[in-house]
A and B are shown apart, each in its own frame.
Chain A
Amino acid sequence: MGVLSFFGLQKGEGKKVRFRDTLRSIPIFSELGRRELAAVERILHKREYQAGEVIFRQDEPGLGMYIIESGRVSIRSDDAVDKMTELGDGEFFGELPLLDGGSRSATAIAKTQCRIFGFFQPDLFGLIERDPRLGVKIVLSLAAIIGMRLRAANERVQSLLQEHAAVHAAAAGKRRAASRN
Chain B
Amino acid sequence: MNQARSAVLNRWLALTGAVVLLTIMLLVPGVVKMVVVAFLLAYIFDPIVTAIELRGLSRTASTLVFFGFVGCILWTLFTLLTPVVYNQIQAMRSGAGSRQTSLVILKLQGIVRAKLAFVGLGEVNLAEKIGQLSGYLSDSILDFVVHEGVTIVLYAVTIPFLVFFFLKDGRDMKKAFISIIPNRYFEFALDLLYKMDVQLGNYLRSQFTDAVVFGVLATIALWLLDVKYFMFIGVFAGMANLIPYVGPIAGALPAVAVALFDAGDVTKAIQIVIAFIVLKLTDDMLVQPLLVAKGVHLHPLLVLLAIIIGGELFGMLGMLLAVPATGFVKVVLQESVVTLKKYRFTD
Residues 25-59 of B, flagged 1 when their CB comes within 8 A of A and 0 if not, give 00000000000000000000000001001100000
User: B53 is contacted by which of A55, A113, A130 (Cβ under 8 Å)?
Assistant: A130
Interface-side segment among A22-30, A41-49, A80-88: A41-49
| B186 contact set on A, CB distance < 8 A | 45, 47, 118
CB-contacts of A33-62 with B (<8 A): 42, 45-50, 53-57, 59-62
Let me know if B191 is at the binding interface, CB within 8 A. Answer: yes
Q: How large is the interface on A (under 10, 10 to 19, 20 to 34, 35 or more residues)?
A: 20 to 34
User: A57 is contacted by which of B7, B175, B347 (Cβ under 8 Å)?
Assistant: B347
A47 to B179, CA, bound (A): 7
Is A50 a contact partner of B50 (Cβ separation < 8 A)?
no
| B54 contact set on A, CB distance < 8 A | 129-131
User: B190 is contacted by which of A45, A55, A59, A115 (Cβ under 8 Å)?
Assistant: A45
CB-contacts of B160-195 with A (<8 A): 171, 175, 178-179, 183-184, 186-187, 190-191, 194
Let me know if A68 is at the binding interface, CB within 8 A. Answer: no
A129 to B171, CA, bound (A): 15
* Tally of contacts, chain A with chain B, CB under 8 A: 54
A115 to B347, CA, bound (A): 24
Let me know if A147 is at the binding interface, CB within 8 A. Answer: no
A50 to B178, CA, bound (A): 18
User: B183 is contacted by which of A49, A59, A60, A130 (Cβ under 8 Å)?
Assistant: A49
Is B3 a contact partner of A61 (Cβ separation < 8 A)?
no
With contacts A45-B178, A46-B179, A113-B4 taken as known, whether A60 is within 8 angstroms of B343 at the C-beta atoms is yes
With contacts A53-B183, A129-B54 taken as known, whether A113 is within 8 angstroms of B2 at the C-beta atoms is yes
Main secondary structure of the interface of B (DSSP, over half): helix
A46 to B190, CA, bound (A): 13
A49 to B184, CA, bound (A): 10
Is A60 a contact partner of B342 (Cβ separation < 8 A)?
yes
A53 to B182, CA, bound (A): 11
| B342 contact set on A, CB distance < 8 A | 60-61
Let me know if A63 is at the binding interface, CB within 8 A. Answer: yes
Q: List 11 A-B contacts (CB under 8 A).
A: A42-B171, A48-B6, A48-B183, A54-B184, A55-B183, A60-B343, A62-B187, A63-B187, A63-B190, A63-B194, A118-B190
> What residues of chain B have their CB less than 8 Å away from a CB belonging to chain A?
2-4, 6-7, 50, 53-54, 171, 175, 178-179, 183-184, 186-187, 190-191, 194, 197, 339, 342-344, 347
> What residues of chain A have their CB less than 8 Å away from a CB belonging to chain B?
42, 45-50, 53-57, 59-63, 113, 115, 118, 120, 122, 129-131
